[in-house]
Amino acid sequence: MENIRIDDFKDYSFLSDIEHSPDGCHACFAVHKMDMDENKYLSNLWVYSSKDGRVFQLTSLDSERSFIWMDDETILFPDIRNEKDKEKVEKGEDFTQYYQIGINGGEALKSFRIPRKASSIKMIDENTYLFASPYNAFENESYILDDNERDKELKRRKEEKDYEVLEEIPFWSNGRGFISKKRSRLYLYCRDTKSIAPITDENISVLDFNLNEKKDKIVFIANGFEGIMPRTNDIYLYDIKSKDMKKLTESGKLEYEFAGFISESKLILLGSDLKRYGVIENKKFYIVDLNECKIKCITPELDKSIWNSVGSDCRYGSSASMKVIDGHLYFITTEVDSSYLNSIDENGVIKRIIGKKGSVDAYSINNSESLFIGMRDLGLQELYKLEGENEVRITGFNAWVHDKRSIAPLEKISVETAPGVVIHGWVIKPVDFVEGKKYPAILDIHGGPKTVYGEVFFHEMQYWANHGYAVFICNPRGSDGRGNDFADLRCKYGTIDYEDIMKFTDAVLEKYSFIDSERIGVTGGSYGGFMTNWIIGHTDRFKAAASQRSISNWISKFCTTDIGYFFVDDQQGATPWNNEEKLWWHSPLRYADKVKTPTLFIHSDEDYRCWLAEGIQMFTALKYHGVAARLCMFRGENHELSRSGKPKHRLRRLKEMTDWFDKYLK
């Protein structure tokens, strides 16, 4: 076995978006790889045959990552495949070219072109398609202009790129850029007439939408606002034939995350009133009877996280986490340290479908077969088939990692940090561990804070274990998977969570005597970056730190980040005007004059979740007070640098941290 190398992730395969064909005989999914030379990701569509178990590559131009089934044997996907279209995109033209390809062979053929940027497309019939598209109130709709007017509009847009006008908050969004006066609108496209018809108006932003089985009605979640985006949203019902639109919910009541037809006469919703636990509150399921227009909560006692928050740096691509299939809603939950697949019916009866520890990242269910993309037994993503309660691995894209590389096991440790409070964590020993030898160690803190670490593959941790470090991780209070009370950190940031992490560290050092207590480093990103900043201002026990995409000042975060104006008030119980001292007390920057720990700061210039200024403030404070500090800023990256950043940037990030720890811990 060879040691895991720092750049091994360039050879990993990442799977996403599995979906059965209408007849259930095949399933399509996306496979993504890194191209280090071009510094980008390559994506292709693959197909699994349920009849003979065969898995084969369908597309090969490295740019196909999303799709829908048109019929039992034909797949539709968007792509830019010729130089002329590429030139139009570079010029700024708005269009989405769709291709169709048969799964039994043959080349992809041009199907139709929508004269807008389209996403989340759904087929109503062979002639009609429903899609979402970004809308900008500062721009003219190019698809309604003639050629001369369109050229003038494109020229005007090019000139306007030097300016950004802000009239709303949030004014930008991580991964999307500036969003003031921008919305996601719903449209219908007719292939025969090549015409587009908007469904929603310019002030409504659509968050999610679904069709009923007959495909004559649309349910969608939307935010209608001007000036300040509210935390709550509404459910709308649209009749395609009559063009009648009806708002089903009372504004200002709930924040909805999903809406779908569980039957022709009933909707199932996922939402929260945010009253008891704020923005981190676990959501509940509701049923809407369309005949009576009544909303009823069918899971009043449910206290589970309805999403997959098990962290890993070995995923790429998006997948739906909730789907209505044959009168049941299927959904993923995070419980303790794993994610599972479940179903619920209109009466609120929940059934566990996939219950093995690990991570369920995507799935597709039909009458005869259950498929899922998951991470099992410290392996990377693969496609699995459920046979009874047994899981059968179908693919072996990443089998070489287990076959050729040394993977360090995770040893679980549970620590009582307060009366009645037990937190769980793991220790990863160096792969070349020698009894009696002392080793440096790195404490790695997850983001969120409402996410979890689990027993899944994490490249950076495995690399460090192969590089001579022990690594230890935990899920302190504030983490996901154990209900609302455990996750509730409001007004407590830097208190109970800090105590949990420090007591966990004490327990690790006591149990694992091979760790050299004089050579321990600490790192974390997002919330983990906040906690890293907090730790170095409250203890000198760590000899080096790497703070990533961090928070240092809750006052500046309030007015500068895409979630600042609601997240800070919600989580800290204060604004800069009603309790400035409260925000300052919880800010790591306040304690920067006490820091002695050499600290590396990793930040991206397009991180609008934890803006660059947060890292710069802490870096400046440390340099001012004579502490060794270094800031590495990544241009063109955002909050997702460590998970989906450009391949070379991800490699540089990990190298920066490793070199920093090597300098001070080895």
Q: Tell which residue, 395, 311, 407, has the closest CA to residue 31.
A: 395
> How far apart (Å, rounded) are the C-alpha atoms in residues 116 and 93?
8
- Locate 513 and state its tokens: 């005597």
pLDDT at 308 over 90: yes
Domain assignment present for residue 418? The answer is yes
Q: Note the helical H segments in 122-279.
A: 147-160
pLDDT in tens, 639-664: 999 999 999 999 999 999 999 999 99
**Which are the contacts of 56, defined by CB distance < 8 A and separation ≥ 6?**
46, 47, 49
Q: Tell which residue, 283, 280, 307, has the closest CA to residue 297.
A: 283
Tell me what pLDDT residue 105 has: 83
- What confidence category does residue 513 fall into, taking pLDDT thresholds of 50, 70 and 90? very high
The greatest distance separating any two alpha carbons of the chain, rounded to the nearest whole angstrom, comes to 78
The SS3 assignment for 155 reads helix
Tell me what pLDDT residue 161 has: 92
DSSP string, 524-550: EETHHHHHHHHHHTT----SEEEEES-
Residue type, 136: N
> How far apart (Å, rounded) are the C-alpha atoms in residues 43 and 30?
7
**Which are the contacts of 364, defined by CB distance < 8 A and separation ≥ 6?**
18, 19, 20, 27, 370, 371, 372
The SS3 assignment for 408 reads coil
pLDDT in tens, 364-408: 999 889 999 999 999 999 999 999 889 999 999 999 999 999 999
Tell me what pLDDT residue 368 has: 82
Tell me what pLDDT residue 479 has: 98
**By the 8 A CB rule, do 641 and 647 touch?**
no
pLDDT at 18 over 90: yes
Domain assignment present for residue 562? The answer is yes
Tell me what pLDDT residue 304 has: 97
| Residue 368 main-chain phi, psi, to 5 deg | -110, -10
**Which are the contacts of 361, defined by CB distance < 8 A and separation ≥ 6?**
15, 16, 308, 315, 319, 339, 372, 373, 374, 375, 381
CATH of the domain at 500: 3.40.50.1820
Domain assignment present for residue 59? The answer is no
**Which are the contacts of 535, defined by CB distance < 8 A and separation ≥ 6?**
498, 501, 522, 542, 545
Q: Tell which residue, 184, 322, 212, 340, has the closest CA to residue 258.
A: 322
Domain assignment present for residue 466? The answer is yes
Mean pLDDT (whole number) for 336-362: 98
pLDDT at 142 over 90: no
pLDDT in tens, 515-557: 999 999 999 999 999 999 999 999 999 999 999 999 999 999 9
pLDDT at 293 over 90: no
pLDDT at 343 over 90: yes
Structural element, H or E, at residue 460: helix 459-466
Domain assignment present for residue 605? The answer is yes
- For the chain, the average pLDDT equals 97
Mean pLDDT (whole number) for 315-342: 97
pLDDT in tens, 61-120: 999 999 999 999 999 999 999 999 999 999 899 999 999 999 998 999 999 999 999 999
> How far apart (Å, rounded) are the C-alpha atoms in residues 586 and 556?
12
Structural element, H or E, at residue 358: none
Query: What DSSP character marks residue 182?
Result: E
pLDDT in tens, 555-566: 999 999 999 999
Domain assignment present for residue 425? The answer is yes
pLDDT in tens, 173-214: 999 999 999 999 999 999 999 999 999 999 999 999 999 999
Query: Quick one: what percent of the chain has pLDDT higher than 90?
Result: 97
Q: How many helices (H) and strands (E) does the chain have?
A: 13, 38
The SS3 assignment for 665 reads helix
DSSP string, 580-647: HHHHHHT-GGGGGGG--S-EEEEEETT--SS-HHHHHHHHHHHHHTT--EEEEEETT--TTHHHHS-H
Enclosing domain of residue 552: 408-665
Work out how many domains the chain is built from and give that number: 1
Domain assignment present for residue 63? The answer is no
- What confidence category does residue 38 fall into, taking pLDDT thresholds of 50, 70 and 90? very high
pLDDT in tens, 567-622: 999 999 999 999 999 999 999 999 999 999 999 999 999 999 999 999 999 999 99
Q: Tell which residue, 413, 410, 335, has the closest CA to residue 377.
A: 410
Residue type, 664: Y
DSSP string, 61-112: SSB----EEEETTEEEEE---SHHHHHHHHHT---EEEEEEETTS---EEEE
DSSP string, 474-534: EE-TT-SSS-HHHH--TTTTTTHHHHHHHHHHHHHHHH-TTEEEEEEEEEEETHHHHHHHH
Is 624 exposed, middle or buried, given 0-12, 13-18 or 19+ CB atoms closer than 10 A?
Answer: exposed
How many beta carbons lie within 10 A of that of residue 243, not counting itself? Answer: 10
**By the 8 A CB rule, do 306 and 331 touch?**
yes
Q: Tell which residue, 471, 467, 463, has the closest CA to residue 445.
A: 471
> How far apart (Å, rounded) are the C-alpha atoms in residues 618 and 598?
12
Domain assignment present for residue 91? The answer is no
* Dihedral angle, C-alpha 246, 251, 256, 259, nearest 10 °: -10
**By the 8 A CB rule, do 265 and 246 touch?**
no
Mean pLDDT (whole number) for 488-507: 98
How many beta carbons lie within 10 A of that of residue 66, not counting itself? Answer: 18
Tell me what pLDDT residue 469 has: 98
Mean pLDDT (whole number) for 469-489: 98
> How far apart (Å, rounded) are the C-alpha atoms in residues 240 and 231?
28
